[in-house]
Amino acid sequence: MNPLEIKKIIIFKSDSKQQIDDILAIEKKIKIFINDQEVVSLSASPIYVKELITGFLKTEEILKGDWCHEKISIYDNGKEIEVKVSLEGFVSLENKTITSGCMSSVSFITDLKSKIEDDLKINPEKLFTLFKDFQTNSLLFKKTGCIHAAGLADENNILFIAEDVGRHNAVDKVIGWALLNKVSFKRKIMLVSGRISSEMVLKTAKWKIPMIVSRTAPTSLAVELADKVNLTIIGFLRGNRFNIYTSPERIKI
């Protein structure tokens, strides 16, 4: 599925205008059906759809019955995408729309019951290198200027990067990729391109990923939740500096 489209636009500068081809990020509605019942819809970029659905449904604990990824069927009719999941036993929800907008995104996770016990420790220099590589390989953002990215890394390498019009979708895609490929979350780092919201912390901490890193700031609630579960938040990582908001013991200084 193509995440981009070309559209003719007009550039106005000073007293002149010019028509050019511009690259836009495609945003599609993704309707999720479980046992033929529509339970939720998302607005997202139409790439890594299986990873998105897996990460979202497992993180939000909507999928609780017997299932495997072979039970996910994806149909694109051009205007929207339908995802059908077959399983026994699941958490039934009223239809809700989870938008790709930053403030209107919704997470159904309500509580984190246990602290993250993880012996991850990383040098600042390695963190700088990882985040530089993360930004360099966020290719759709470079083409459109409106795409968010998330990545999963260990102390030495980025394992996977996903991009989406929605920040939370990108995180769900990363989590879904790890679940589908049976990659452990132990000693891993979540890299994100935008601000660290409470929903980002909830999704990261749900899988006991010990650290989340961004080039921008966390919210006050994100810091409060992260402190509660021993999740390390790194913000404003730019150049050779960053802020440590919670659990600083994981940074070798």
Q: Where are the domains of the chain?
A: 28-98, 124-250
Helix (H, G, I), strand (E, B) or coil at 180: helix
Annotated catalytic residue: which of 47, 102, 159, 251?
102
Whether residue 102 lies in the annotated active site:
yes
Residue 16 and residue 35 in contact, taking contact as beta carbons nearer than 8 Å: no
| Partner residues linked to 33 by β-bridges | 38, 84
Is the domain 28-98 a CATH 2.60.40.3080 member? no
Dist CA 73 CA 223 (whole Å): 38
124-250 in CATH: which number?
Answer: 3.40.140.10
CA dihedral over 41, 45, 50, 54, signed as positive or negative: negative
Task: Catalogue the E-assigned strands of the chain.
Answer: 4-13, 16-25, 28-34, 37-44, 63-66, 72-76, 80-85, 88-90, 97-98, 148-153, 158-164, 189-192, 211-214, 232-238, 241-244
pLDDT in tens, the chain (253 residues): 789 999 999 999 888 999 999 999 999 999 999 888 888 899 999 999 999 999 998 888 887 666 677 778 999 998 899 999 887 766 655 544 444 443 334 555 556 778 999 999 999 999 999 999 999 999 888 888 889 999 999 999 999 999 999 999 999 999 999 999 999 999 999 999 999 999 999 999 999 999 999 999 999 999 999 999 999 999 999 989 999 999 999 999 8
Q: Does pTM top 0.85 for this prediction?
A: yes
Tokens of 114: 């246990």
